[in-house]
Amino acid sequence: MEKIRVFIVGAGASGLMAAIAAARAGASVTVLEGMKKPGRKLLLTGNGRCNLTNLDKDLHLRYDSSGTDGAVPFVNSVLQSLDVSGTLRLFEELGLASVSAGSLVYPRSGQAQTVLGVLLAELERLHVKMKYNAKVKRISFSGEKGAWLLQTEGWTYEADRVVLCCGSKALPETGSDGSGYTLAASAGHTVTDIHPALTGFECGDPDVRAAAGARTKAAVKLLADTNNSGLPMTVLAKDTGEVQWTQYGLSGIVIFQLSRYAARRSGGTLYVSLDLVPDQTEEEVRHTLRRMLDHAGDAVGSVSLLNSYTHERVAAYLAKKMADKGTGGGQREEHIARALKNVLIPVTGLKGYDLSQICAGGISLNEVNPETLESLLCRGLFFAGEILDIDGPCGGYNLQWAWSSGYAAGTAASGTPGQ
């Protein structure tokens, strides 16, 4: 019997996993990749160490989608094909030993290259055909040939099944330039609004930018002033971690996590609030500052006192804000403690696709079967990975989505017609 011809578009995390699943299930598999090499983005993950999944027992609850039903039921269904422990077993079988740091899982080698290497070795073992510099420009179904046609610059391929694993628009230099959305739309699919996510916050205030290079531990909140009416504001998200002060504003994992909640937001003004001494109450900070002042005398500068608690550039920023605002009476230690515990910075924008790790938005989940990831509009067309309207936080969640959805789509795409 002729093997089913499955074509995977994109050799990123989801495409490589889809190809393995389809070939293991008996299909003849070809991967078409637009770049010269596979897995460009995968190699950059986790700062080159690849945080490949997360042991969070509530992992499925952490994903988001623009759709009214959210992402959870869809993700739950896809995880039935390959969950976290199944993923780790699969990688181990392929030759990848992993290690966890808290709930974050990395290859023991500490190299993303090892993850890519074991995937490629398995594809070779399974005789999957890899075509590079093969950017797919057009897909269409030919009733006459009874096949999908995939057009690249130099060739038109015929496929029984197609799995679109083209990623998003995040970091387009890695090959995921948004062309997957266009291919899906040409097949009649709805693509929801796309926004960069897991990215930095732009802050227009030059005093914030002047602190570039500083890193501060902080409890961070993302606040929305929905009607631009001032306080009280709605808390959209909060987290604690290291904030990196940059030439454009604020960055770091903790800011990236909050950016997912800013991505889909429209209207109103957003603020980041920082508590730069999250492990002490304002009262405790005030008390310590009083003792410092008692010892050093009132002549001691505010920058110096602020610098006892935070990076000198941030101390200079806070001192300037305090001077701009004026003290309005009260003790010095009160003002300084308040300044450290309640930093409020307006967000003027999100960094763009060039700096974002993922995109929020994608192919609408309403048009995709959550068990097989097959299009509900076009038989024989499947999707996996970030191209779908699902996004997760930093910490291995997005790669787990790529592995699970790739496995589910690849397996289903190699099934007999009508399955």
Ligand X SMILES: Cc1cc2nc3c(=O)[nH]c(=O)nc-3n(C[C@H](O)[C@H](O)[C@H](O)COP(=O)(O)OP(=O)(O)OC[C@H]3O[C@@H](n4cnc5c(N)ncnc54)[C@H](O)[C@@H]3O)c2cc1C
Binding segment (CB under 6 A) for ligand X, from list 19-27, 36-44, 74-82, 123-131: 36-44
Site string for ligand X, 150-189 (x = CB under 6 A): ---------------xxx--xx--xxx--xx---------
**Binding track over 124-153 against ligand X, x by CB under 6 A:** -----------xx-----------------
Considering the complex, state which of residue 15 and residue 252 has its C-beta at the smaller distance from ligand X. Answer: 15
DSSP letters for 247-283: SSEEESHHHHHHHHHHHT--SSEEEEEEES-TTS-HH
Residues whose CB falls within 8 Å of the CB of residue 160, separated by 6 or more in sequence, listed in order? 4, 5, 6, 147, 148, 380
Q: Which is nearer to ligand X, 30 or 372 (CB)?
A: 30
Residue 183's alpha-carbon distances to 85, 161, 186, 288, 419, in angstroms, are: 33, 15, 5, 61, 24
The two three-digit tokens of residue 403, written as one number: 């592995």
Q: Which is nearer to ligand X, 14 or 310 (CB)?
A: 14
Scan residues 320-339 and list those touching ligand X (CB under 6 A): none
How many Å apart are CA 98 and CA 109, to the nearest integer?
8
Helix 397-413 × helix 84-94 angle, to 10°: 80
User: Does 393 engage in binding with ligand X (CB under 6 A)?
Assistant: no
Report the run of H or E that residue 236 belongs to, with start and end.
Answer: strand 234-245
How many residues of this chain bind ligand X (CB under 6 A)? 40
15: contact with ligand X by CB under 6 A? yes
Residue 82 CB, nearest distance to ligand X (Å)?
Answer: 14
Q: Is 252 an interacting residue with respect to ligand X (CB under 6 A)?
A: no
- Residue among 122, 160, 386, 389 that touches ligand X (CB under 6 A): 386
388 in Cβ contact with 405 (< 8 Å): yes
CB of 214 to ligand X, least distance (A): 22
Would you tell me which residues interact with ligand X (CB under 6 A)? Answer: 9-15, 32-35, 40-42, 44-46, 50-51, 135-136, 165-167, 170-171, 174-176, 179-180, 357-358, 385-386, 396-399, 402
